Amino acid sequence: MAVRVAPIMKSDLRRVAEFLHAHLNSRVSVAAWERSVDVRWTVDAPNHGFMLVDTERDDALAGVYLAFYSERMLDGRLERFCNLGAWCVLPDHRMHGVRLLKALLDQPDLHFTDLSPSGNVIPINTRLKFRFLDTTTALMPNLPWPSRPGRYRVSTDPRVVESTLTGRELQLYRDHADTAAARHLVLLSGDEWCYVVFRRDRRRGLPLFASILHVSDPELFRRMARPLARHLLLRHRIPVSLLETRVTGHRPWPSVLLRSPRRKMFRSARLRPDQIDYLYSELVCVAW
């Protein structure tokens, strides 16, 4: 087969979106795939990933590996990230699929994350020196706990979120406000606030789960776990939350630990696991 690897540029996004809709996940529309790849935050991205082009079939797409780039300030140093997104290769071209991964990893001066690796990708990543993040996850039922008017408040109103947040958290919100999968709220108690980012997730095809991606104040989050659970159930019709302890800082009651939480991985020469989060990634951009 005459197949070449090429970077995905902005002009390629429509046909890449059509390919992913047809061959990976038809629940995500072509327009939604295209919008998700064209990220809303400011970054000097070299590409949107890489694609396999079949030169014997008029340069038809045979495979795609998406990438989401970002620049983060950590410990006073600007760090560049590449989050590995959707990876889809046609069966007849599977032998060439690893060339897409190699093209991504050969890019210099980047930290790599893979936050939703499929089962067959995990051993490949492991051989390439990716490390596992601790994804210990508690499953919490979102119960209609009684509320105490005036003591705690949960708001998803963009005006309230924008006027409450300051500094780094405000910038995080502005960078993610228009992404397809991220949902935003603030927990309020007197002068205290906690910014929370979550996404609606599927398990066994059922979109009944809220996965918590970011918590700015774990202590206030702990105290307001019940008002949050009530809000997610009554306002968003989400009966269950998934809380990774590395994100939320605690395991709420009542909850049970998942026996086999979804794995997340990263590869970096100098960053610690606690410096890796789930923002600026496929998790906030693609609502599957």
Report all structural domains of the chain as residue ranges with CATH numbers, in order of start.
3-134+280-285 (3.40.630.30), 137-258 (3.40.630)
Q: What is the pLDDT averaged over residues 257-269?
A: 96
Cβ 74 vs Cβ 111: under 8 Å: no
Cβ 256 vs Cβ 90: under 8 Å: no
Give the pLDDT confidence score for residue 119 in this predicted structure: 86
174-212 tens-digit pLDDT: 999 999 999 999 999 999 999 999 999 998 889 999 999
Cβ 187 vs Cβ 228: under 8 Å: yes
pLDDT reading at 149 higher than 80: no
Q: What is the pLDDT averaged over residues 18-27?
A: 97
Give the pLDDT confidence score for residue 1 in this predicted structure: 62
Strand arrangement of the beta sheet that strand 77-89 belongs to: 3-7, 49-54, 60-74, 77-89, 111-114, 265-267, 131-132
CA 166 to chain centre: 23
Residues 6+ apart with CB under 8 A from 148: none
Cβ 140 vs Cβ 252: under 8 Å: yes
pLDDT reading at 260 higher than 70: yes
Q: What is the pLDDT averaged over residues 54-73?
A: 94
Give the pLDDT confidence score for residue 57 in this predicted structure: 85
More confident residue, 59 or 194: 194
